[in-house]
Structure 1
Amino acid sequence: MIWKEIRPGKAKVPWKKLVWHSRHVPKTFTISWMATLDRLPIKSRLISFGLHIDGMCGIYGKELESRDHLFFECDFFRAIWVCILHLCGQHSQVMSWEQELAWAMRMLKGKSLWSAVMRLDWNGYITSIWKEHNRNFF
């Protein structure tokens, strides 16, 4: 009780229930959490730290690799997300990272089976893309 009184309170992030939920898989929520905070060591971020590396996308090599590009702008990975959405009955246009995150926070609330499956899909998609990125990069 005293700890709560002396500890400075922080505002809850709006995407909390998207990443952390009762059915989460620990490895996937950790990677999703880091991706949401834009803390994954993606090439554009590594370059900003002063590393001298090629910053182009590891799949097509045409665009600078950023979080937004890697997860929702790269044509290859975008097609995977479209397939996941179609399998779950969603037929929407894939947008930018911020717009997709806003859509997920708005649509994936509640305790329904569909919401639970889609939250798992969201976190699994991000983790799978990150693993494939690392396989190509290293």
Structure 2
Amino acid sequence: MRPAGIYTIKSGYQWKQNEGQQMDWWRAVWNRTNVPKHSFIFWLAMRCRLLTRERLMQMGIGQDIPCPLCGSHPETNAHLFFECEFSKACLEDTLNWLKTKQRNMGLQEIWKGVTRKVTGKTSRGLIWAILAALIYYIWQVRNDAVWDQIVPRTHMILQKIQMKSKVRIFEILKRKHMCKNRY
């Protein structure tokens, strides 16, 4: 705020910058390799802003209903990413495909662990894009379970991630090749 108590965009921005801690996961979320809609869902998940059943209850909408994927625990952000048996199995399939192991299965711990183990900007970007795709597809499957009562097998999620990753890599390589040939 200005001394006279008048709000400006600049003062609001400065206040917001100093409000909380620096989010060190923003590079993974807003990575150029990520598909934009994957980044958006990844961002919401990292901030615990997805409209899970727990969050809807806090807003006064709905009632406490178990997770639509496993049916055994209340649906929270932490449960959905990666305490739920379904999402945990999807994560394990993805980590096996990437030939990596991870002990801590929380969302924050996953991206930290994957980041530490991978060297190189391109490799790290690809891993982040795969993690963003995993989170996006788990959220998509959750929505399908809520609205259509359909829960696919976990290997189907891995196949979608693999396909989307291949397509995205080819798009990036094609873009780089086109830029290179212009000059």
- Check if 1:35 corresponds to 2:41: no
- Structure with the higher helix share, 1 or 2: 2
Structure-1 residue corresponding to 2:125: 116
How many residue pairs match? The answer is 135
Secondary structure of the corresponding residue to residue 56 of structure 1 = coil
Match of 2:88?
A: 78
The 1-side partners of 2:28 and 2:61 are apart by 32
1:129 corresponds to 2:138: yes
* Aligned 8 A contact 1:108 1:119 in 2: no
2:14 pairs with 1:8: yes
Contact in 1 for aligned 2:88/2:105 (Cα 8 Å): no
For residues 116 and 102 of structure 1, the distance between their equivalents in structure 2, rounded to whole angstroms, comes to 13
The match for 1:50 is 60
Structure 1, gaps ≥5 residues long: none
Query: In 2 relative to 1, CA 104–37 (structure 1 residues): closer, same or farther, beyond 3 Å?
Result: farther
Question: Relative to 1, partners in 2 of residues 1:128 and 1:135: Cα closer, same or farther, differing over 3 Å?
Answer: same
| Moved segments of 4+, more than 4 Å | 107-110
Superposition TM-score, scaled by structure 2 size: 0.65
Instruction: Give yes or no for contact 2:54–2:76 (8 Å, CA) kept in 1.
Output: yes
Larger Rg: 2
Quote the Cα distance in structure 2 between the aligned partners of 1:15 and 1:64.
26
Tell me which moved more, 35-44 or 8-17. Answer: 8-17
Query: Structure 2: which amino acid aligns with 1:129?
Result: I
Alpha-carbon distance change, 109 to 28 in structure 1, aligned in 2, over 3 angstroms: farther
| Residue identity in the other structure for 1:37 | R
Distance 1:46 1:66, change over 3 A: same
Could you tell me how far apart the structure 1 residues matched to 2:108 and 2:119 are?
Answer: 17
RMSD between aligned residues: 2.4
Q: Is contact 2:54-2:64 (8 Å) kept? A: no
Q: Which amino acid aligns with 2:14?
A: P
Tell me which of the two structures has the higher relative contact order, counting C-alpha pairs closer than 8 angstroms and 6 or more residues apart.
1
In the alignment, which residue of structure 1 is the partner of 2:77? 67
For residues 50 and 87 of structure 1, the distance between their equivalents in structure 2, rounded to whole angstroms, comes to 41
